[in-house]
Structure 1
Amino acid sequence: MRHRYSILFFPLHVIIDFLSLNTAFVGAYWMKFQTLEAVAEAPYASLWWLFNIIWLIEILLLKPYIYPRQLFKSGHLVRQLLLLTFIHVSIIAVCWVAIQGYYYSREQLLVTYILFLTLGVGFRIGGVLFLKEYRARGYNNRRYIIVGYGKLANTIRGFYDAHPEMGFHFCGYFDELTSENSGFLQGGYETLLEYTHTHSIDCVYCCMPYMDNERLKSIADNAEIYDYQVKILVDFRGFLARSTSVEYHDVLPVLNLSPNLLSDLRVSVFKRSFDVIFSLMALGLGMPLFLVMALITRFTSSGPIVYAQERIGQGGKPFKIYKFRSMYVDAEKSGPVLSGGLLDDRITPWGRFMRKTRLDEIPQFYNVLIGDMSVVGPRPERQYFIDQIVEIAPEYHSLLKVKPGITSIGQIKYGYAANIDEMVQRLHYDLLYPKRRSFLFDMWIIAQTLRVMAQGRGK
């Protein structure tokens, strides 16, 4: 085998992350208690072991260190580290509550994760910078050729020329000689295999629009003999969706271009897990505040504490949404009417405060727990208003592909809508979510929501 050092990245990453995790744990303990004498004794010895076991399980299940060169970038590596750390924090938090480990120092836990992230981010950025410089000096390069000359072939070459830090060195085009490619080819099909052997080619890119299956099969059959990788380029630009997947009909691979990202198991399971953990923590830790709010709601105006209303959820399925009542009873006795903003005289004085701070939405964490809603997602509407919105903006239907949420981009950037036109304006913000949905984007929306709540800028 030739210089395939990338196999060393996996054990190196594992070792560095475990060293960082344990260094952070011990360092945080010393910073908190100014001693290391009891760090390996109960109760912290058990917590120390738990930290390592959870991280090991994450590595075994998620396989976070297996990726091609194209993804070896500081941004991707840091995002991956943040995701792993969040999962680790969530599991530790659940275990902490389950065993009632209130004797552990919260400050020590916080400092541990801060130190770990600092070390992890530092090693990743440093490693990427080192590899860029190392490859710029001509080391650790992959030599590649492109079979089939044309626009697609030029595109892949242009990509690697624009990213020398990836370490891919172009060695020539191979194709049948024609008037269009004359002067651009390194050779033809008859000299391709010999060239890969004599020039130690690591990767052969095959452009499907410009070659037939028989030649592709010949190149693939000889890959193991001549020790090179075969990669197929197919030009799907212009209609390849982000949600494209491969289905196998017996041994025949079929490319599915229908949107199915929103039902992707990995995305859905992780988002649902986060929703449940976040909601349990919000309801558990905030219970005293919620009881106070319930009492104030009860005694400041007559009527029920919690208000239930039918909304339309994912896939057009109706469900009951719950909120602390912010309006007087029978506010809609004449039929569905949108709120006229905080100056609406149907809103109680206490209701205005709850709406400005978004506290009236808190009971919806119950909706999240039972699966009707998510923490982050487009706000659900009533069918009466959806029918009117669709007449102006048919694209509203795309929001029904995702689970509605307690908070959304539209809620942050726009707030409550007083009429259909304002609902359509808010829709333009919410339409961004299905396209950009990710863990980091959800965290950004939650952070912005907390800022709005703290500043009382809800409208």
Structure 2
Amino acid sequence: MRHRYSILFFPLHVIVDFLSLNAAFVGAYILKFQAVEPVAEPPYASLWVVFNIVWLVEILLLKPYIFPRQLFKADHLVKKLLILMAIHIAVISIYWVAVKGYYFSREHLLVTYLLFTSLAVAFRLGGLVFLKEYRARGYNNRRYVIVGYGKLAVSIQRFYDAHPEMGFRFLGYFDEPSSENQHLLRGNYDDLPAHIQQEGIDCVYCCMPYIDNGRLKKIVEEAESVDYQVKLLVDFRGFLARGASVEYHDFLPVLNVSSQMLADFQVNTLKRLFDILFSLAALGLGMPMLIILAIITKITSSGPIFYAQERIGQGGKPFKIYKFRSMYVDSERSGPVLSGGLLDDRITPWGRFMRKTRLDEMPQFYNVLIGDMSVVGPRPERQYFIDQIVEIAPEYRSLLKVKPGITSIGQIKYGYAANIDEMVQRLRYDLLYPRRRSFLFDMWIIAQTLRVMAQGRGK
């Protein structure tokens, strides 16, 4: 009989949690009052009963012990437990207020939840370690076959081979034989039903690029009578990397593979709110420093205080970027030229200091405030250089999907670029940002930028 012990996991989980809950309740009472008999008497007897009823209702409604093997991980188990605990605490708090049970010891309740959490987490982690080891040894496994041979089929097999703790045992590929795959197949489509019956197959993975709808329909129709699962594998990896999303038209799922970035609330709203607040703070609190920088820039070399230049922003839209002038006037008479680093003789002595400390970038908080830029994001470039970069690294176009920033990973790790090759090298760092951007990641980049400014290591 397949998985004859698997059916025991659910009741065992329920029983252990109830034992842990009650042991914690009684144990906390003993620790608080140094007695055990009164816990079964009013008023604590009623609270004890409510504790168990609330937990039982949670189990019946939320079904917290039902999850696939792929999600049988420590973080998933603990997360579900903490959600259950939070709901339980909320309901008990409502009960406490409803019955005006102010005579219940808060310390007892706190210790109860701490003990219960400790016991429940210990059981889950212990059970997780045991089951992973048990399944890695070949027990309690699920047998599967893959229908339709190709790269996607090989990928799913390698995934389970690399994770024996999940307990999936591979029993062959099935497809129409060809010169490329016939030595790898266990059989063809006609051999599949007999193999499922003979080997007790639990799951049939069907690779959509390699199987037609007629054969798929037949496999699905036979699944109920023979008792096996059918799972579809569709290779969306290339699309999802570009920010695809799934839309539902009634019951029909539609994959949106537009290259447009998803309208993410966190990015479009929270990030913009942070940019505005941070820029206002930087311009407001930094106004005395801005005035001093402006005065020194004016008296150390002839020319305007600020330098404005056209850059390309989000979606290829041009905008004017503002900096404190760090070069002598008319440094690009013959056309666009990249800075040759801090040793470039076009840079003024004062400008060299501002570049090392990144103080020349301060006026760009105005660009952030009006929405052209963000505090954190890939550095914007001129169209003249973008055209040359794209010839070498076409992936640069992906950076135009996000708003450019004052500081970036490339600025921290690489700094100013003196030629196209160096711009491409810096690009390798900035390409990490669209995939990893988050509030915490932005905070890390800002902290690293402040460190570079304080140490004067800008280059």
TM-score exceeds 0.5: yes
For residue 401 of structure 1, report the CA deviation from its aligned partner: 3.4
Matched residue SS, 1:265: coil
1:318: which partner in 2?
Answer: 318
Cα 1:339/1:370, change in 2 over 3 Å: same
Distance 2:127 2:234 in 1: 32
Distance 1:288 1:235 in 2: 51
Q: Answer yes or no: is 1:188 the counterpart of 2:182.
A: no
Distance 2:329 2:376 in 1: 30
2:399: which partner in 1?
Answer: 399
For residue 380 of structure 1, report the CA deviation from its aligned partner: 0.8
Distance 1:340 1:446 in 2: 25
Match for 1:279 among 269, 275, 278?
275
For residue 139 of structure 1, report the CA deviation from its aligned partner: 6.5
2:453: which partner in 1?
Answer: 453
For residue 291 of structure 1, report the CA deviation from its aligned partner: 1.6
For residue 234 of structure 1, report the CA deviation from its aligned partner: 4.8
Q: Is the 8 A contact 1:328 1:347 kept in 2?
A: yes
For residue 333 of structure 1, report the CA deviation from its aligned partner: 7.9
Matched residue SS, 1:264: coil
For residues 381-427 of structure 1, the C-alpha deviation after alignment (integer angstroms, 9 at most, x for no partner) is 22344455556666644433332222223322331234455444434
Q: Is the 8 A contact 1:176 1:189 kept in 2?
A: no
Q: Is the 8 A contact 1:175 1:188 kept in 2?
A: no
For residue 313 of structure 1, report the CA deviation from its aligned partner: 0.8
Q: Answer yes or no: is 1:327 the counterpart of 2:301.
A: no
Aligned 1:360-371 pairs, distance under 5 A: 360-371=360-371
Distance 1:159 1:127 in 2: 23
Cα 1:209/1:378, change in 2 over 3 Å: closer
Matched residue SS, 2:381: coil
For residue 178 of structure 1, report the CA deviation from its aligned partner: 9.9
Q: Indicate the RMSD between aligned Cα atoms, in angstroms.
A: 5.1
For residue 282 of structure 1, report the CA deviation from its aligned partner: 3.1
Q: Tell which deviates more after alignment, 404-413 or 153-162.
A: 153-162
Distance 1:6 1:371 in 2: 54
For residue 177 of structure 1, report the CA deviation from its aligned partner: 9.2
Q: Answer yes or no: is 1:242 the counterpart of 2:241.
A: yes
1:414: which partner in 2?
Answer: 414
Distance 1:317 1:276 in 2: 18
Q: Is the 8 A contact 1:275 1:368 kept in 2?
A: no
Distance 2:12 2:312 in 1: 51
Which letter does structure 2 place at the counterpart of 1:297?
L
Q: Is the 8 A contact 1:298 1:304 kept in 2?
A: no
Q: Answer yes or no: is 1:290 the counterpart of 2:290.
A: no
Distance 1:361 1:248 in 2: 45
Q: Is the 8 A contact 1:414 1:426 kept in 2?
A: yes
Aligned 1:47-446 pairs, distance under 5 A: 69-70=69-70, 129=129, 132-133=132-133, 135-136=135-136, 141-148=141-148, 153=153, 155-170=155-170, 180=182, 184=186, 188-191=191-194, 194=197, 199=200, 201-208=201-208, 211-223=211-223, 228-234=228-234, 242-243=241-242, 260=259, 263-266=261-264, 269-280=265-276, 282-283=278-279, 286=282, 289-302=285-298, 307-323=307-323, 325-327=324-326, 330-332=329-331, 334=333, 336-344=336-344, 347=347, 349-387=349-387, 389=389, 396-420=396-420, 422-431=422-431, 433=433, 436-439=435-438, 445-446=445-446
Cα 1:356/1:159, change in 2 over 3 Å: same
Structure number with greater Rg is: 2
Which letter does structure 1 place at the counterpart of 2:295?
F
Q: Is the 8 A contact 1:311 1:319 kept in 2?
A: yes
Q: Return 5+ residue gaps in structure 2 as ranges.
A: 17-64, 81-117
Cα 1:308/1:174, change in 2 over 3 Å: closer
Residue-pair matches, total: 355
Q: Is the 8 A contact 2:306 2:325 kept in 1?
A: no
Identity %: 66
Matched residue SS, 1:356: helix
Q: Is the 8 A contact 2:328 2:347 kept in 1?
A: no
Which letter does structure 2 place at the counterpart of 1:263?
M
1:18: which partner in 2?
Answer: none
For residue 317 of structure 1, report the CA deviation from its aligned partner: 0.5
Distance 1:369 1:227 in 2: 61
Which letter does structure 2 place at the counterpart of 1:132?
K
Q: Return 5+ residue gaps in structure 1 as ranges.
A: 13-64, 82-118
For residue 458 of structure 1, report the CA deviation from its aligned partner: 0.4
For residue 457 of structure 1, report the CA deviation from its aligned partner: 0.7
For residues 129-164 of structure 1, the C-alpha deviation after alignment (integer angstroms, 9 at most, x for no partner) is 565335436666444333456775455333312211
Which letter does structure 2 place at the counterpart of 1:215?
R
Cα 1:283/1:241, change in 2 over 3 Å: closer
For residues 218-246 of structure 1, the C-alpha deviation after alignment (integer angstroms, 9 at most, x for no partner) is 33245456654321235689x66623556
Cα 1:423/1:211, change in 2 over 3 Å: closer
Cα 1:279/1:248, change in 2 over 3 Å: closer
Cα 1:229/1:443, change in 2 over 3 Å: farther
Distance 1:347 1:308 in 2: 16
Normalized against structure 2, the TM-score is what? 0.58
Cα 1:406/1:131, change in 2 over 3 Å: farther
Cα 1:393/1:235, change in 2 over 3 Å: closer
Aligned 1:21-40 pairs, distance under 5 A: none
Q: Is the 8 A contact 1:3 1:140 kept in 2?
A: no
Cα 1:247/1:4, change in 2 over 3 Å: farther
